Amino acid sequence: MSSYAVTNPSTGEVHAEYPEATDAEIEAAIASAHSAHRTWSRQTSPEERAAMVRKVAELHRERKDDLAAIIVREMGKPLSHATGEVEFAADITEFYADNWDKFTGATPLEILGEGTAVIQRSSIGPLLGIMPWNFPYYQVARFAAPNIVLGNTIILKHAPQCPESSAAIAQMYADAGFPEGAYVNVYASNEQAATIIADRRVQGVSVTGSERAGSAVAALAGANLKKVALELGGSDPFIVLSTEGLGSVVDQAVEARLDNSGQSCNAPKRFIVAEDIYDAFVEKFTEAMKSATMGDGFDDCTIGPLSSLLAAERLEEQVNNAVAQGATLALGGTRDGAFYAPTVLTDVTPEMDVYRQELFGPASVIYKVAGEREAVDLANATDYGLGSYVYTTDPAQASRVADAIEAGMVYINCVLADSPELPFGGVKRSGTSREMGLLAADEFVNKKLIRTAP
């Protein structure tokens, strides 16, 4: 059976299978992307490419219902979440079409001597994108759109469980008028992906996925002297130090934790709560998690199944191991096929494995802390450093904590506030790059110095 298949995690039913690419097809994809960069990319202006990218955004909106249904089948997310993802992918794509002039062209430099100097920004060539299953459209949009506006061409290897959505994205680029090779979808194996990375015509690789996948890709990229951008896992802290409305804070905490059925790298997973409101927070949080409804993604539900049976079994093993090591199971901990019930763990200590793990699903750990310093220390006691959330009524405290947290993003008194203009990325083992916002255009671009004498 091909590794590329649409398997509905709600039912286990295999809807379609797609053959992996042959080695000849991989060579053709590289050659096509290389040719498109040497011809079409160099013969078009950023403004012209931006106009075509804007058409891709329009096609996302026009085909929203069909696109959303595809990813409900592929990875099980609730239909409302899937629809929202398509709309966000359209917004991101449109952002780069609207702002092409801010990240292309020349930037004058102030120089010490006479004459002039500018930084000329230009494309570098074909790029390989290795994308994950949890946000099939959104992840691709934030990688592909800025790079195509810059003039880079894209070879896209999506997750094996997302063959239909990856084909749909490629079709939108074709229907928007992009020539052959500008955006190429490949059903590549991991071995073939390594071949693409090693090819001298390919100039960089971006991977969004697990720490393990990122490490493997980075090693290959380094061995072949290729630029690599990594967006990896996270175990984001949600710090609650004070609040004038605990119920509202809990509602936001649960909404963020259960977004995408808990399968989001920058979702809050560790809830760090001041001791004076800890008991009330645990009670309210547990009740709110308990009220979440599970169901088929096409049903009216809060969360769907996890992306696969394997994903649910992995989360079950982590939770069971935590309980065996002494954690308290305040809620949940049960699995039915790929469905995993909303789960809350307390009394987790540094000696337990779960203290250092990312829980990729609707499971949370709640910690009690004595105050600000302990909260920051606990927030930073992880190898990850993606996002973080701080709730406090004291603006000065918010500023201190935000400054002290070791993460690429800090959200103060808000959740789910991602936006196309805001950069996304982390530090430590959460990654090495930024996507979205204008910083995304700095990842794969030649910042060429042009110095002219008077």
Mind giving me the DSSP string for 201-267?
Answer: T--EEEEES-HHHHHHHHHHHHHTT-EEEEE----EEEEE---S-HHHHHHHHHHHHHGGGG--TTS
CA gap 13, 19 in Å, rounded: 18
* DSSP alpha helix (H) spans, 307-394: 309-324, 372-379
Provide the token pair at 185.
Answer: 């979808």
Query: Minimal CA–CA distance to 371: which of 227, 268, 272?
Result: 272
Catalytic position from the list 231, 316, 358, 372: 231
Buried b (16+ CB within 10 A) or exposed e, 394-412: eeeebebbbebbbbbbbbb
Confirm if 127 and 204 have CB atoms less than 8 A apart: yes
Distance set, CA 192 to CA 24, 45, 289 (Å): 11, 32, 42
3: Cβ–Cβ under 8 A, 6 or more apart, which residues?
Answer: 20, 160, 189
Distance set, CA 122 to CA 84, 255, 439, 446 (Å): 33, 41, 15, 5
- Cβ burial of 244 (10 Å; 0-12, 13-18, 19+) is exposed
Does the annotation mark 301 as catalytic?
Answer: no
368: Cβ–Cβ under 8 A, 6 or more apart, which residues?
Answer: 273, 275, 278
- Measured in residues, the chain has a length of 454
Identify residue 380 by its one-letter amino acid code.
Answer: N
Catalytic position from the list 74, 85, 162, 265: 265
Residues paired with 329 in a beta bridge = 345
CA gap 367, 348 in Å, rounded: 7
Catalytically active residues are 231, 265
